[in-house]
Amino acid sequence: KLNSHNAETISSRGVAWFKKGDLRKSLQDFSQAIKMNPKLSKAYNSRGILYFTLRKYQYAITDFSKAIELEPHYTNAYNNRGISWRNMGEYLKAIADYTRTMEINPSDPEAYNSLAWILATCPDSKSRDGKRAVELSSRAFLLRPDSFKLDTLAAAYAETGNFKEAISAQEKSILLMSKSRVQNKKAMEEFHNHLESYKSGKPWRDFPKKEIADSTNSKDTASQ
């Protein structure tokens, strides 16, 4: 019991280090917590997020998979693994993880949003489905109305060829972001890039990210 308690405390400290930007100490704490309690699923998920942040997607996927093995209904781990698969260009695996998240928790807006984004922006035409992306992103916005959900809805409309609605949704996402108390400059830059693409009559394409490379994609947000 003592080891289990200490492992959770150390894992929580790792999250605190992560939020402060000290990834070295964060990694040490997550790894120590896992060593002390190999069944602590949230420590694997947290370490996976750290690896994801470093663009070490294979390491991240290994940890997310272990978290899922230990806790089969761990929706954040499924969604995080899905984002990792997407960034590696493994779109069908990403779609499978997002779909599983929705099955476990039909009220999870991030699962709907993540799946809608890949169906709208995936470079692989076989994996795209604009009509379904509109349905999913609309559902995500109803569950959690924010600028990121509108950004996805805009991409979905663009994929269907409805650039009028795409431009309208994107402009609303920019307006909503501008009114937010917490400003996200990277996301705002993305939103404007998306808007210019739709004004040019071009749907957005989200290409795979290289490992250990910087990214400004607002969809690359793993969850604790």
My answer on whether 198 and 152 are in the same domain is yes
pLDDT given at position 213: 35
Residues 187 and 120 in one domain: yes
The answer to whether residues 47 and 63 touch, using CB atoms and an 8 Å cutoff, is: yes
Q: What pLDDT, on a 0 to 100 scale, did the predictor assign at position 145?
A: 96
The single residue listed with the structure tokens 């993880």 is: 97
Residue 176 lies in a domain: yes
- 213 within domain boundaries: no
Burial of 101: CB neighbours in 10 Å, binned 0-12, 13-18, 19+ = buried
What is the dihedral sign for C-alpha 185, 198, 137, 72?
negative
Q: Are residue 119 and residue 68 in the same domain, yes or no? A: no
Q: Is the residue at 138 inside a domain? A: yes
Contacts of 190 (CB under 8 A, 6+ apart): 151, 216, 217, 218
182-200: pLDDT as tens digits: 778 999 999 999 999 999 9
105 and 171 share one domain: yes
Whether the Cβ atoms of residue 48 and residue 67 lie closer than 8 Å to each other:
yes
Q: Please indicate, yes or no, whether residues 97 and 200 belong to a single structural domain of this protein.
A: yes
pLDDT value of position 208 = 84
Domain end position, chosen among 79, 102, 128: 79
Classify residue 197: in a domain, yes or no: yes
> What is the CATH classification number for the domain harbouring 37?
1.25.40.10
Is residue 75 within 8 A of residue 101, CB to CB? The reply is yes
The mean predicted confidence, pLDDT, of the chain is 92
Number of structural domains found in the chain: 2
pTM value is 0.84
Query: What is the block-wise mean pLDDT of the chain (224 residues), using blocks of 10 residues?
Result: 72 96 96 96 97 96 98 95 94 96 94 96 95 98 96 98 98 94 89 98 88 45 63
| Residue 221: predicted pLDDT | 59
Q: Which domain holds residue 137?
A: 89-207
Same domain flag for 120 and 142:
yes
Q: Cβ(68)–Cβ(37) under 8 Å?
A: no
Q: Which of 79, 101, 122 finishes a domain? A: 79
Residues 68, 8, single domain; the answer is yes
- The per-residue pLDDT for 181 is 82
What's the confidence (pLDDT) of residue 3? Answer: 52
- Whether 22 and 117 map to the same domain: the answer is no
Q: Which amino acid is at 164?
A: K
Q: What is the pLDDT of residue 4?
A: 52
Q: At what angle do helices 57-70 and 41-53 cross, to 10 degrees?
A: 160
Question: What Rg value do the Cα atoms of the chain yield, rounded?
Answer: 18
